[in-house]
Structure 1
Amino acid sequence: MIRALLVDDEEHALRILRILLERVGEVEIVGEANNGFDALEKLKRLRPDVVFSDIEMPGMNGVELAERIGNENLDIQVVFVTAYDRYAISAFERDAVDYLLKPLEMDRLVKTVQRVKKEAAKNAGRDEIAAAAAVADERKAADESPLLRVRILGGISACNSRQERMKWRTGKERELFAYLTFRKGERIHRDVIVDALWPEEHYQKSKVYLHTCVSFLRKDLKQLGFEGALLYEGEKYHIKEEVIETDYELFLSRVQELKAAPATTPEALESVLALYKGQLFKDEDYAWAEEDILKIEQVAGELRMELAALYEKSREYMKMTDVVFKHLSVSPYDEEAYRLMMRAQFASGKHEEVFRIYHVLLERLGELGIEPSAMTVELYNEIRQKKERA
C-alpha cells in the first residue's frame, strides 16, 4: 500500500482523482491540499510516498512544488496531473515519476500506481538499512542517559529514550503534567496549582482532584522508567529537572544563541525555526498559559519576518513567499507580512497575485474596522504604476 497526497486547486478534480485511485486500490490517500504551500506543509507532516499534483495553481504551482520537494531532499515521488501536455518536458526535468493528462484514463492510472510502488519499494530498502542503524544508536543512548523528552510546541507528548510514549488517563492529568513541565525548575505550591487548573471548583474538591491526578501521573511516570520523578516537599510539587528535556526550552535556548551571534544567516534562522513545531499547547484550552502562548508565537513570528527579509535581500523569492505564507497562516492581520508578500510576488513577475494579496489585506483589516497604513498604500500604488509602465 502506497501513501498518497493529492494536490489540486479544483475540488471537482480532487474528487475524481480520489475516486479513481480508490478503484485502483493499493493506494492510501493520507491527505489533500488546494495549493502548493498547503501541500508542502502537509507532506512534511504526513510523509507520503507520492504526491499527485496539478500544475496550474495560484501561488506555488505544481512545478515549483516539485522543485521544493527535490531541493529539500524529501524523498517523495511526484506525479503531475494536468489538462495540458505542454508541461511534459518540464515535468520530467524535475524528476517526476510520471505525467497524467486529464481526463484521466483508468488503465494509464493503474500503470502509474505500479510504477510508484516499484520506486517506493526501492526507497523502503534503503530506509530499512538506515532505520536499523538508528535503532542501534537509540538503544545505546537509552542505556547511557534515561531522559523524558517532552513536546509542548504543536501539541503535547512525552516519550522515554526507548520511544515509549506516555499515555495519560485523563485530560486533567495531562494538563498537570504540562503545567509542571512548563514550569520546570520551579517548586510550585499546591494551592497555586489548584487555582490554575480548577479555578471554578470548591477548594476541598480541587485538592481531591489534584491528589488523584498526582497519583495517576506518578504511576504513568513509573511506567516509563521515571519512578520518583514527581516530588512533593513543603506543600510544593515539582518534577526533577535532570530527567526532563522539552522542545520549548531547546527552542528558546537556540533563539538566545542566535541573538548573541555577531551575524545572522538564513541557514541559522531556518535551523531555529525548524524547532518551532507549532503553537505552545496547541489544541488545548489552558487559561494559565495564554500569555506565554502569545509571547512564544511573537518570538517565532519575528524570526520568520527576519528570515523573509534575508531571502528578499538574496532574491530568493520562492523561499521568501513560503516563509511569509506560513507566518500569515498564524498571524493573518500582520500588515508588514502582506507588504513582504506583495514585494515577493511582484519580484517574481506575478503581478495579479500582488493585487489579490492587497485585497485580502483590505478584507482582513476591514474585519478590524481599520484602513491600511500609508506605507502599504504607497507600496501598492508603486507596484501598480510599474506594472502599467511595463
Structure 2
Amino acid sequence: MLKVMLIDDEKIALDVMEILLNEIGGVQVISKCQLASEALASAGKLQPDIIFLDIEMPGMNGLDAGKQLSALCPDAEIVFVTAYHQYAVQAFDARAIDYLLKPVSKERLLETLQRYARLKLRHSELEGTIFQKTPEVKGKLQLKVLGSLELYDKNGKLMTWRTKKTKELFAYLWLHNGKPVHRYHLMDELWPNIDSEKAQALFHTTLYSLRNILKSEGFFGKVEFGDERYWMNTDWISSDFERLEELLDRAGDHAGEQQIEEMLALYRGDLLEMEYYQWADAKRQELRFKYIHFLEKRLMEAKGGNRRILESRLQQLEQL
C-alpha cells in the first residue's frame, strides 16, 4: 500500500483529496498538513512514497518546500497541486512527477497514481543489471540541452568545464548516444580548420580533460575506444532532450493536457541553441520540426487558454 502525505493550507482540499484517494484504493494517507513547516517536521520520520503538495500556501510556498522534502525523503515522489497554470514550468524544473490543477478529479488522480506505478516499474526493471551493480556512483546526472547545455552533478550543482572544447566533445559524444565515431571524423568536426597534427594534440588533451571530469563525478570508463573509434556510454545521464522525444513519440495524438504542459516546459529553446555547434544542425532541425508539427496538430484541437498558449509558442518559434 502506498504511503501518501497531503499538504494544503485549505482543510477542505485535504479532506477531498483523502476521500478521492480512499475511493481509488491501495493508498494510505499517513499525514495531512496545512503548513509546510508541519510536513517538514514529520516527513523524515514518516518517509511517504508520494507527497501531494499545494504550491500557494502561507509562509513557505510549495516549490521551496518541495526541495526540502526531497532532501528529507529522497525516495518520495512529489506531485504539485494548484489552481494556477503558470507554475507548470517551475514544477517540472523541480522534478515533480506530476502537476494537478484544482479541482482534482478522481480520474485525473488515478492517472497520477498510474504514472507513479510505471515510474517505479521502470526503476525495478533496472535492478540487478550491470548499470545498477556499478559501485562507483548512484543515480544519474541531469543534463539540459534544450536551449543551452547544462550538466548537473549528483547534488544538483551546475558543473563547470575546463575548456569550451571539453564541453563540446562531451556534447558531441553524448548526442551520438553510444555510436562509435572515427577519431579523424571527430577531429574534423571539432577542429575543422586546424592541421591534422595539431588537431590530434588538441583532441587528446580535450579527451583527457573530459575523462578527468567524469572520474571526479564517480563515472569511470564511460568514454571508450576501439578500432580507431570513440564512443560514450550514456546510461548515466538523464536529459530533457530524451524526455521530450519520449513524449513526442509515445504521446502523439493521445497526449493529455498534463503531457502537453510538460512538453511546453521542457522546450526552453532549440537543441544546443546557445552553443552554436554546426555539427548539431541536422538533429536540431529534426527535433524542431517534430515539435512544431506536434504543436500545430494540437492547436487545431485546442480551445480557450490552451489554444492561446500553443499559438504563443508557435509564434515564438517562428521568430527564431
Normalised-by-shorter TM-score class: 0.5 to 0.7
Q: 1:156 aligns with which of 144, 149, 158?
A: 149
Q: Residue by residue, what CA displacement relative to the aligned partner does 1:208-244 show, whole Å, maximum 9, x if unpaired?
A: 1111111111111112121222222222212223222
| Aligned ranges 1:47-66 → 2 under 5 Å | none
C-alpha distance in 2 between matches for 1:139 and 1:266:
27
Instruction: Please tell me the root mean square deviation across aligned C-alpha atoms, in Å.
Output: 2.8
Residue 241 of structure 1 corresponds to which residue in structure 2? Answer: 234
**Residue by residue, what CA displacement relative to the aligned partner does 1:137-186 show, whole Å, maximum 9, x if unpaired?**
44899999432222111210112332233210111111111101111121
Cα deviation 1:24-64 (Å, max 9, x = unaligned): xxxxxxxxxxxxxxxxxxxxxxxxxxxxxxxxxxxxxxxxx
For 2:265, the equivalent position in structure 1 comes to 274
Could you tell me the percent identity over the aligned residues? 22
- Distance 1:306-1:178 versus aligned 2 partners, 3 A rule: same
In structure 1, the gaps of 5 or more residues are 1-72, 76-118, 334-390
Q: Secondary structure at the match of 1:174?
A: helix
Which structure carries more helix by proportion?
A: 1
Q: Which residue does the alignment assign to 1:194?
A: 187
Q: Give the 3 Å change call, closer, same or farther, for CA 228–138 of structure 1 in structure 2.
A: farther
Note if 1:215 corresponds to 2:173. Answer: no
Query: Which whole-Å CA distance do the structure 2 matches of 1:204 and 1:188 have between them?
Result: 19
Partner in structure 1 of residue 23 of structure 2: none
Q: Deviations over 1:84-136 (max 9, x none)?
A: xxxxxxxxxxxxxxxxxxxxxxxxxxxxxxxxxxx9xx433765543322113
Taking the aligned partners of 1:167 and 1:248, their CA distance within structure 2 comes to: 20
**C-alpha separation between the residues in 1 aligned to 2:285 and 2:238?**
22
Larger RCO (CA under 8 A, 6+ residues apart): 2
User: Any idea what SS the aligned residue of 2:275 has?
Assistant: coil
Instruction: Classify the secondary structure of the residue corresponding to 1:217.
Output: helix
**What aligned pairs does 1:76-91 form with structure 2 within 5 A after superposition?**
none
8 Å CA contact 1:308–1:324 kept in 2: the answer is: yes
Q: 1:325 aligns with which of 304, 312, 317?
A: 312
- Secondary structure of 1:231's match? strand
Taking a change above 3 Å as real, the CA distance of residues 289 and 129 of structure 1, as seen in their structure-2 partners, is closer
Instruction: Give 1:271 shift.
Output: 3.2
1:303 aligns with 2:290: no
Q: Tell me, what secondary structure is at the counterpart of 1:249?
A: helix
Which of the residues 42, 45, 70 maps onto 1:134? 70
Q: Deviations over 1:226-277 (max 9, x none)?
A: 1222222222212223222222122112211123x6x444443333333323
**Partner letter of residue 197 of structure 1?**
L
The match for 2:34 is none
**Distance (Å, rounded) in 2 between the aligned partners of 1:125 and 1:264:** 29
1:310/1:237 Cα in 2 relative to 1: closer, same or farther (>3 Å)? same
- How far apart are the structure 1 equivalents of 2:318 and 2:308? 15
> Distance in 2 between the 1:138 and 1:271 partners?
22
CA distance in 1, matches of 2:313, 2:64: 33
8 Å Cα contact 2:55/2:63 also seen in 1:
no
Given the two structures, how large is their TM-score scaled by the length of structure 2? 0.58
Partner-residue secondary structure (3-state), 1:237: strand
Q: Distance in 2 between matches of 1:274 and 1:161?
A: 22
Q: 2:225 aligns with which of 216, 219, 232?
A: 232
CA separation of 1:267 and 1:133: change in aligned 2, threshold 3 A: closer
Structure 1 window deviating more from structure 2 (165-174 vs 239-248): it is: 239-248
Question: Which 5+ residue runs of structure 2 have no aligned equivalent?
Answer: 1-53, 77-122, 124-131
Counterparts in 2 of 1:228 and 1:136: CA distance versus 1, 3 Å: farther
Q: 1:277 to 1:138 in 2, by over 3 A?
A: farther
Query: Would you say the 8 A contact 1:166–1:224 is kept in 2?
Result: no
Kindly tell me the number of residue pairs found equivalent between the two proteins: 210
After TM superposition, the structure 1 stretch with the greater mean CA deviation from structure 2, 282-291 or 131-140, is 131-140
Q: List per-residue Cα deviations over 1:295-353 (Å, max 9, x = no partner).
A: 11111111222222222xxx41x3312221221112139xxxxxxxxxxxxxxxxxxxx
C-alpha distance in 1 between matches for 2:62 and 2:266: 26
- Shift of residue 293, structure 1, vs aligned partner: 1.2
Q: Indicate conservation of the 8 Å contact 1:152/1:247, yes or no.
A: yes
Instruction: Report if aligned partners of 1:151, 1:247 keep a CA contact under 8 Å in 2.
Output: yes
Q: Partners in 2 of 1:167 and 1:138 — Cα distance? A: 25
